[in-house]
Chain A
Amino acid sequence: KQEVTQIPAALSVPEGENLVLNCSFTDSAIYNLQWFRQDPGKGLTSLLLIQSSQREQTSGRLNASLDKSSGRSTLYIAASQPGDSATYLCAVPMIKAAGNKLTFGGGTRVLVKP
């Protein structure tokens, strides 16, 4: 059974500092890995999706890397802003499951202080 872990559970940084969020998964046979953002009282917004054949994806200040063999992904957010404060979750499709059923990590709650 796939297990997804995110460490740390919470992170507080001053504005302008780079953020590094970690995600690990136990079974490397994944099709892809997604990073989501969740604001309080809101649903999830997909930030980046890395396919299994890719090593990284970039969108603006966000960069996500994937190392399947070691079961790890890292989300980098450059020059953090207070608006980046949110919970960030990573997720991978369930093993040998049809459809896009995802297993989620517990999330990292980020606070960027002005």
Chain B
Amino acid sequence: GAGVSQSPSNKVTEKGKDVELRCDPISGHTALYWYRQSLGQGLEFLIYFQGNSAPDKSGLPSDRFSAERTGGSVSTLTIQRTQQEDSAVYLCASSLNAQAATNEKLFFGSGTQLSVL
């Protein structure tokens, strides 16, 4: 597709349930990032994938959060046993290459609004 696609756009779930959020990056982009945007916290980095390398999980807030990227393309962010504090907008972004020195722009999807009741 032309841009980064995320689904679903909105997700309402009950506390304790598991949720899966999907991201389709721009075709050909090797780097993929997940961010979380919540009131009072701003935008926080969660995890990033670069090609076939092991992902950088340094931003994941707890072991209830995990993500995978299949075939170097589509990524799924999974939150197990959701809590109310997980309510936020989850944003996915991709770029052509992850090397910081190349000064590449990030392209963001529209996000998934997650509400945990």
Contacts and interface: CB of A to CB of B under 8 A. Distances in A.
Contacts of A51: 103
B105 A43 contact: no
A87 B46 CA distance: 22
A102 B45 contact: yes
A41 B99 CA distance: 29
B101 A31 contact: yes
Interface stretch (B11-19, B60-68, B107-115): B107-115
Interface stretch (A16-24, A64-72, A73-81, A90-98): A90-98
B79 interface: no
Contacts of B31: 99-100
A93 B106 contact: no
B64 to A, nearest CB: 21
A104 interface: yes
Contact of B4 (A43, A97, A102): A43
Interface string A98-110: 1111111111000
Given A89-B43, A93-B100, A99 B56 contact: yes
A43 B109 CA distance: 5
A43 B93 CA distance: 9
Contacts of A49: 103, 105
Contact of B100 (A31, A44, A105, A106): A31
A46 B103 contact: no
Contacts of B45: 94, 101-103
B33 A34 contact: no
A44 B108 contact: yes
21 contacts: A31-B100, A36-B108, A43-B4, A43-B91, A43-B93, A43-B109, A43-B110, A44-B93, A49-B103, A94-B45, A98-B50, A98-B98, A99-B31, A99-B56, A99-B100, A100-B31, A100-B98, A101-B45, A102-B106, A104-B43, A107-B42
